[in-house]
Structure 1
Amino acid sequence: MKFSCVALPGFLLAFLLSYTTVAQSPQTPVLRYALTQATTDTSRVLLLADLSASFRYSRHDSVLYYAQQGLDLARRIHFAKGEGRCLTRLALLQSERGNLPQALRLNLQALQRNEASHDMDGIARTFNQIGLLHQSLDDHRQAFQYYFRALAIYRQIRTHDTSQLVSVLANIGATYTGAGQLDSAAYYLEKAEAEVLRETPGRWSSWGNPEPYVLRELGLLAAARHQNRDALNYYRRSAQAAMPENDLRSACRAYQYLAELYEDQQQTDSSVFYGRKALHMGQKLSYVVGIVHTSRLLADAFASRGQADSALQYLRIKQVAQDSLYNPLRLKQLDAIALAEVQRQQKLEQEQSEYQVRLYIYAMLAGLGGLLLITLLQARHNRQQRRTNAQLQELHAQVVEQKETLVAKRDELSHMLRDLKTTQNQLVMRDRMASLGELMAGVAHELQQPAQAIDNLAGISEQLSAELRGAVQALPLEKEQAEPLQDMVQSLAQYQATLRRHGQRVGNIVRGMREYSGKQPAMRQLINLNELAENYLHLIYHDALAKNPEMQVTLDLQLDEAVGEVLLVQHDIGRALINIFLNAFHALHTRTHQPDVPADYVPILTVATLRTGEEVELRVRDNGPGIPMDAQGRVFERFFSTKSPEQATGLGLALSQEIVAEGHGGTLAIESEPGAYTEVIIRLPAPQLPTVESAAATV
């Protein structure tokens, strides 16, 4: 539907636009431009209502013009929401002019249209305006009822119109001030001020910036608390804030309260000055309430000066305004309208109550019908259930028999599958171990000859060093010349001894690799347990570094020399140590990469040996993540592992326990605390061997 309105003569419209431009608020130009761009009648109605609201405190004839235009269009297109909002603006205009009965009548009409269109913003605004009417008549109880209903709606719909929310909060605070409840007044006025400060400047709705109103009411609260200096400050700030908004009403009230405060302080000149400014603002806006209060104040001021003519002039102004505001006929009309509204509300509540009773009765009847239907269906079901129970019992017996047969077959298949998996894993592990043995045999073969050559050459070098030392001593040299040569020969001999010792160590490692590869028979022999543990530790550590170059582990060796040589199968114990060291380095690597690892965490692997009588102990301890409590009882089970299947087969600790317990008559135990450490303890029988001295003494 295209927009059509009552046409105005061109010269009249131009005059009105130029006239209102002077009196407009900051929101008016934006709304007027939006009106020219509107494409639907409904949006035009709402924009006309907003334009009307933007002139409410600056130009009443513009309020009437835009509100009436919007109301006429809304009624033509049957737009209830727009009709309610325009009626609210007309009611506001009548209230400002002092025609309270007509204002209440229009507000009640607007409320009906708001409710019919479910316009919650409109309902809340209408409640707020009705509350203002009761507040102006000092009917605080009724004012509070309407204010709090408006506030509840704004909070329910989470309104974005801060101007309206602040208006309700400030109205509640002002009413509490009038009722003498100053603490409650301060609470709501401070909340209103906080909302004003929170809002972004320049983003106010068509109702404008409510800051002048809030500051004025804070001034009244300060005056009620006898804080006159604060009150003067608030009044001046209110008048100053009203100027950018072109808010003549707030300016009028601010000047009025300044005049009254100066009158109380017996500063008559200041009181008259601000009183005349307030009266000028009130007459310019046709604000009847402000005219009444200000003319009364000026009349009293001139009477106290003895200027009867001026006092009489202002009394006449007061009387005219007061007659329009407190006309007995209008008050009776207001009471009649209020009574009619109360009766309407009571009728609505009664109808609502009757409707709820009817709904309750219908629900009860529906429930009884449902229960009866359920009872009939249950009886029919019971009869069918009894007929089928016999058949079900017979079928149940057959199912139980078949189930037992199937369970037996399933268990048999499960055992077969488990054995098959065990065999398969053992074959895979055996194949891997065989491949590893062949690899180690090849490496040992390649290293054996260079290691033997190093050992032989180191021995020859030691002999040559001894001969060279003798030759140096036989030379007829001075002491100053002989000592440097002797020192160099001595250092050379020490280097050769060190080289030979490390060559022997390489040979031991090669022999261990050949034994591990299975190329030599598994027979027990006396082995230095400390050297064996140290060799395999370094071997596995270098392997771990090759796989994870960034890993840095502190190796802590606590080897007891009293352990000495122990009778054992070297490559079997070597296999057990390899499994244990691999697990320890994996635990430390895992702990290093956990997200909750402390910044000062240092991975430490401790290898300790100890002789305890006829036994020796070998302890391997890491400060990794530990073993979970629910897994500690299963660590020696075959194919159980806390690692992923790609990382482990779950056979390492099981094979290690077999080597220690069955192959050497010892024990292998694990102690662990989750999040702290894991310690593997190997105990081997190791009787004390007689020394050379003790054997000689025996002979």
Structure 2
Amino acid sequence: MKILIAFISSFFLYTVCCAQNNALDTLDKLINKAASDTARINLLNKKISLLSNINIDSSINLGKKTLEEAIKVNYKKGEGAVRLKLAGNYCFKGDYKTAAENLKIAEAIFKQLKDSLYIGRLYAGYGMMYGMQSRYDTAIQYYQQSIAIDERNGNLNEIARSYNNLAISYQMQSDFTRALQYQQKSLKIAEDRQDEAMQARTLVNIGLTYKSMGDIERSEQSLLKSAELARKQHIKNVELYAYSNLASLYEAKEEYKKEYEYAMKSVLLGGEMGDQGIQSSGLSKAAYALARQQKFTDAEKLGKQSVLLADSSNQPLNIYQAYSAMGFVLKTEGKYTDAIPYLEKAFEVLKGADIYDEQVGKSYMDLSECYEKTGNYSKALSTYKMSTQIADSIASKENVRKATELTMNYEFDKKQQVATAEQKQKEALASAKQLALMIGLGFALLLTILAFIGYRNKQRANALLHRQKTELNDALTKLRATQAQLIQAEKMASLGELTAGIAHEIQNPLNFVNNFSEVSAELIDEMREEIDKGDAASIKTLATDIKLNLEKITHHGKRADAIVKNMLQHSRSSTGAKEMSDINALADEYLRLSYHGIRAKDKSFNATLQTDFDKSIGRINIMQQDIGRVILNLITNALYAVTEKKRLLADADYNPTVTVSTKKIKDKVEIRVSDNGMGVPQRIIDKIFQPFFTTKPTGEGTGLGLSLSYDIITKGHGGEMKIDTKEGEYATFIIILPL
């Protein structure tokens, strides 16, 4: 579980190179001997930073007193620095309002002073505040501004912290590639500067990124190393986050006793620091561990304690975790009705947060199971869909593959650097021996040894590269298989939308078949009577009528057969082969099927369907299945848009209208699907073709339709796909295909 990645590497935590208590004693002596008010306030600011690593409440109390002193002597820079540190501490306490007030005042001070160093730290402070509220998009913007300033100033310490914090925001959005990229940059700076405190902070977050990627071994190594360095440097907050994340790791390994042990270690340290958020997090993890060991009484007790602490922490992620943990305990115990309110509360807290986390997907699955067990099958289905969508996105093979490749490259570069350094050392030693011995035989022997070592190293390097290439090829094969499965799943979903329309279209020819069959039976009876009478003329007339009926039965039977074949073709995986197809007929057929599908669900729904087909187009060379799927998706979206507008407006004068048109323009064909619905807001136009982006309510849209359609048109056919829209009035999707 991605429970607490607090922004532990934040801008206000300074590197410590000795035990915290010794540092505090030294600072107290210097404070007492301070020669001026400004010098005293600067030293007090350092003490506030050290206390932040030990006890947040003590740090806040000292910060308030120092702030009064700075204001009293009119030391603006000192006042701004104090407010930055107070803002960070208030964030850890969940008091974001007070944190924001201090940041705004500090911003005014540093902009007036034109102090670029502190302005960079200020933006990092804003990033931390928004990040701890799970508003990661906003946090990313501020961290990028902070990094730009720090890079201009050449301040490596600040750059490393900002890289680390920016990585956390990407990590919480499951963008593991970018997260790992910035974490590795931060770690390299820390290693080059031999800054073990910064290494500890970075490694704890790298460990969590590896866990999210499913690389349990690297995750455990990183977290244990982080905890070791944090203990050595006496950085309690980093140590407790390492423990908290180790608890999550052992949950993934199904080692529930270890999960409980490390969770309670984080609770103990969180209590010492006065951090209610981390206490709540640790208690919820411990509750998970006990529930999986069937110790439900103790699990419920810890879960309730976690909920109380989380509510007072005012941190959305902690509140979500506490309530989802309590819901899991009750669900595992079989108390499905009792579990539902806790799980619903957990998701209510996450509204507006930029979190796309695997644990969220698991909690949706828990809630779906509770709904199913209590008979609420519609909600069970919608929450199950949310769970699978989140799981598919988080487990994206491309996402994990890129991050894994980045890890391999980073480790390979480090090995190469070590190998290069060792090689230089050997060459220097060889030169020294040559100068000292001046013996040709020794020189030749040394060259032979070096050549042998080089050959062995080359063999090992070649073997490593071959193994890496094989692993990457395997990952690529799995990725392509996953992509094919994803496309097939979307196709089946769209086929489901057409079911009612297909039934309507098949019903008409079947009715004709039945009617003409009955009439033919009656004509045969009449023919028998005429045969008995010997009336040859009547017999011939009746035979002609029967033949006409049979031709009509054959015609309508073939129509039903064509509908079924088209739908079977729609459900199959695309062969990628193009064929000459009638684009006008294809568009007209899917328009009618989609409309009747909507009508089957809602008999009261009516809409005007308009077509304007350019007959001069004729047949064009396309992948019929894929283009049909694109047209179906656009028409379905258009019908949904006018349905929603009619529902929202409740206006008798509103006439829902969907128009499909084709037009030949020189060497291209243009297909337009238009509706007079609500249109697409300008702020999301750039996102509508992105995977998993949808404006539909939870459970009603996968967010894959337009993304797959865009790929089919642009990549599969070398065409264009764009949108013309006005919010509140209309939307037109335009497809342009080359002839």
Q: Same fold (TM over 0.5)?
A: no
TM-score band, normalised by shorter chain = 0.3 to 0.5
TM-score (ref. length: structure 1): 0.44
TM-score (ref. length: structure 2): 0.42
- Larger-gyration structure (1/2): 1
- More contact order relative to length (CA 8 Å, sep ≥ 6): 2
